[in-house]
Amino acid sequence: MPGESVAEFRTALMHLKDRLARPGAQGAGPLIRGVTPEQIEAALARLERGTYGVCHSCYLLIPKGELLRRPYAESCKRCEERRVGPRGKKAGTHVSQP
């Protein structure tokens, strides 16, 4: 990931961390829902190590647009959905990997 993107995501994560640290973070938007400070810390650590943006499950790069929505994401949308399970979703739309 280019240096400027690293800086961009570091700033985004720092902002999230600030918002989480605020007592009674009620003004928190949907972005912050269900996010723990540990997730933010882990994402910052990945930035330092240079492994940021790589999915933990399939080791593919998480699309930047996805990271902008969820800078703390540790897996791509597809793996995330697989982990959470297709509950409430119609079966048969599953894309199988070779």
Does the footprint of Zn ion cover residue 54 (CB under 5 A)?
no
Does the footprint of Zn ion cover residue 73 (CB under 5 A)?
no
Residue 73 CB neighbour total at 10 angstroms: 20
Q: How far is the CB of 73 from Zn ion (least distance, A)?
A: 10
Nearer CB in complex with Zn ion: 16/55: 55
39 with 15: CB under 8 angstroms?
no
Among 20, 31, 58, 61, binds Zn ion (CB under 5 A): 58
Gap between the terminal Cα atoms of the chain: 26
Q: How far apart are CA 37 and CA 66, in angstroms?
A: 19
Interface residues with Zn ion (CB under 5 A) are 55, 57-58, 75-76, 79
